[in-house]
Amino acid sequence: MNDTAIARLIAAEEKRQREGLEMIPSENHTSSDVLKALGSRLTDKYSEGYPGIRYYGGCEIVDEVENLARKRAQALFGVSHANVQPYSGSPANMAVYFALADPGDTVMGLELYYGGHMTHGLKVNFSGKWFNSVQYRTGKDGYLDYGAMAALVQEHKPKLIFVGATAYPRVFDWQKLRDIADLAQSFLVADISHIAGLVVAGAHPSPVGIADVITTTTHKTLRGPRGAIILCNGLPSNPLKRAERVKENLPTLIDRAIIPGLQGGPHNHQTAAIAVALHEAAQPAFKEYGRQIVANAKTLAAALSSVGYELVTGGTDNHLLLIDLTNKNIKGADAEKALGMAGITVNKNTVPFDSRPPFDPSGIRLGTPALTTRGMKETEMEQVAQWIDRAITAHGNEKKLTAIKQEVRALTEAFPLPN
């Protein structure tokens, strides 16, 4: 690379990832094949529209790329329709609102500070400013309160309900959620961005056939590039034509929301990289990978609980842990900093009914997808738990944190990044 400044920064980031433990649960390590697709000449081509109905000429090859990505997504998740053009998770969710609701309509989602996502109705987000957002919460135990949610649905009768989370360590009961949505004839949208890889691997229940629409990013447990997919069932018609807002028309409504509704030309290099990731996720080894993510998370949870850490809900069923550090007399931001100095990357996070402000919360969020990608298993999780405890105990002591970082680096040498 002739741009030595950027080359230096790329090398520095690669070194940081290689020598540290990436434990933010929304992060992962892609394969070299995904990276090759991302860096391909496909990035040069404009292709507004859909395969066979583009606004530009010269799209015959990118049509094949997009069709292949769509077919792979349909097969992997077991749906009849997939849109692979969303630029990322938030635009994908915006497209669902655009397709199924009008500004001012009532919508529902899990409140951000109780584990949800900002596009599920946070008041400062488009989803909370353009729509009448009613937020549901977890109970004091950290579990989703289905009874309270049902009462809210009956009271407010939302047009659509988003279900999904960024910091919820338990499984979703999709059928119970479907029954709740049916109380008001609401559209049920499952945002499985965090758990898509677990769903594919059979390590988390699937919402397919239960939720009306499914959205997911492709760069978390699915281990692909940054991007998103919208899934549903039904047969699309021409997205250039209007369609009535009924469930039978979901594919057309979704496609029309992406373009001409919200986006211009799709990122063809991203689409190709998504196709590569979907192919990788369809291999038998991926199922074992998904199961190992959960096994690692459970081992990590048990090890941290054994030394006095208070896990929200008492443990985990998926890829992440949410820890309330109040009893350890350290704030989430300080724990994040200490762990970072020790070579362990996590993020500060609110916990349910947090007494501290969102930007200076009581907890941290961490997970096992990236460590599992590197080949680490239960034995390594026991060691990681010890380092986490030592680093939090030693927060503010740079010498001790540096010593832990050297130990972490020694472990990472035995578990290199993919390829």
Residues annotated as catalytic are 46, 48, 191, 217, 220, 226
CB-CB contact of 396 with 338 (8 Å): yes
Bridge-based pairing state of the strands 347-349 and 363-367: antiparallel
**Cβ neighbours of residue 134 under 8 Å, at least 6 residues apart?**
106, 107, 108, 121, 152, 156, 158
- What is each CA distance from 214 to 15, 120, 162, 207, 397, in whole angstroms? 36, 13, 10, 8, 46
**What distance in Å separates the CA atoms of residue 121 and residue 161, rounded to the nearest whole number?**
10
The residue behind tokens 């890829």 is: 319
**What distance in Å separates the CA atoms of residue 254 and residue 245, rounded to the nearest whole number?**
10
Where do the H-state alpha helices sit in 144-267? 146-156, 174-182, 196-201, 250-256
Q: Compute the residue count for the chain.
A: 419
User: Phi-psi category of 158—alpha, beta or left, where left has phi over 0 and alpha has psi -120 to 50?
Assistant: beta
Tokens of 373: 């990608």
| Angle, CA 125 vertex, CA 107 and CA 158 arms, to 5° | 5
Q: How far apart are the first and last CA of the chain?
A: 21
SS3 for 338-362 is HHHHCCEECEEECCCCCCCCCCCCC
Tokens of 336: 């994040």
CA-wise closest residue to 230 among 75, 38, 51, 95: 95
Q: Is 234 helix (H, G, I), strand (E, B) or coil?
A: coil
